[in-house]
Amino acid sequence: MSRNVSSLALAREGQLFLLDCGEGTQRQMMRYRVGFAPEGILITHLHADHYLGLPGLLRTLNLQERADPLRLWGPPRSADMLRAICELGADRLAYEVDIRETSPGETAVAGDGYRVLAFRTSHTRTSVGFALVEDERLGRFDVERARELGVPPGPLFGRLHRGEAVELPDGRRVDPAGLAGPPRPGRKVVYTGDTRPAPETIEAARGADLLVHEATFAAADSRRARETGHSTAAQAAQVALEAGVRRLVLTHISARYAQQPGILLREARAIFPRTDIARDGWSAEVPFDDRSDSDEEDETT
């Protein structure tokens, strides 16, 4: 088997979050050297394959002498169950576990330059997905134009880039107008957890740089997918297409496709070519989208 149960490590600017925590997550973190300093854990729903790894992981963090509080987010009406699971085999921790419920539309995490939003998904019980959305970035700074105006490289560049007027050593005042382009978007990463294809997912993923969408079944098992609250690979690809994402990664693959995951990949790529399928230890970089309008036109012609 090349796919353990659900858990995804999301690393951003030195911060680590876990999205779901299936059984054996701490072993996989050791195996793939993820590190044991998560800022928090976000649980999409209370099916065992998405949270049973919590007791083992909490105990491992304790053995690692963690002292900082650990935040744990779950969907509405999940706090009591999550608290009971955390106490199962993980009592007498040396650090606090702060359990919070997050409803669709709420901000679960408000960080420096980003936020993590919860959105409604369509499964067989209360569930949410999570979208990490970065703030807009400053526009490109025109270094050559600044030099033409006599601005010496250094702190004055930074102040002009932030929109401040500056005074030069010779007494001249330089206005920031025209020295920086329009604001550029930050990155957006969306994780669905288990869900049928849903309009809420399309809206949450609109324009995302990366959509991690479950694809439990192939098209031949679409009825089974509908009955169990899951998606086919083709349905996940259609969501990605309608949301206009840059890249799609399929996860939560049924064991029936363990020997032939290419079936799912082919069905998805027929609709959305920029699709990959995850496996244990696989990782993906999420670059900034700094394409110019002309680049985008070239790509579509």
Alpha carbons 169 and 164: distance in angstroms, whole number: 16
Which is catalytic among the residues 20, 49, 98, 175? Answer: 49
What DSSP assignment string belongs to 177-230? TTSB-S-B---EEEE--S-B--HHHHHHTTT-SEEEEE--B-GGGHHHHHHHT-
DSSP 8-state assignment for residue 136: P
Q: How far out from the chain centre does Cα 213 lie?
A: 11
What is the Cα–Cα distance from 255 to 25, expressed in whole angstroms? 18
Q: Where are the alpha helices (DSSP H) in 95-232?
A: 143-148, 155-161, 199-204, 222-228
Please report where in the chains the tokens 């995850």 appear, as a residue: 278
162: left (phi over 0), alpha (psi -120 to 50) or beta: alpha
Q: Is 49 a catalytic residue?
A: yes
124 token code pair: 């067989």
Element (H, E) at 248: strand 248-251
Beta bridge partners of 214: 251
Taking alpha carbons only, the member of 236, 7, 246, 257 closest to residue 121 is: 236
Whole-angstrom CA distances from 164 to 70, 135, 136, 137, 159 are 39, 20, 18, 16, 5
Tokens 């995951």: give the residue: 261
Residues present in the chain in total: 301
Determine which helix (DSSP H) or strand (DSSP E) holds 122, and give its type and residue range. none
The catalytic site residues sit at 49
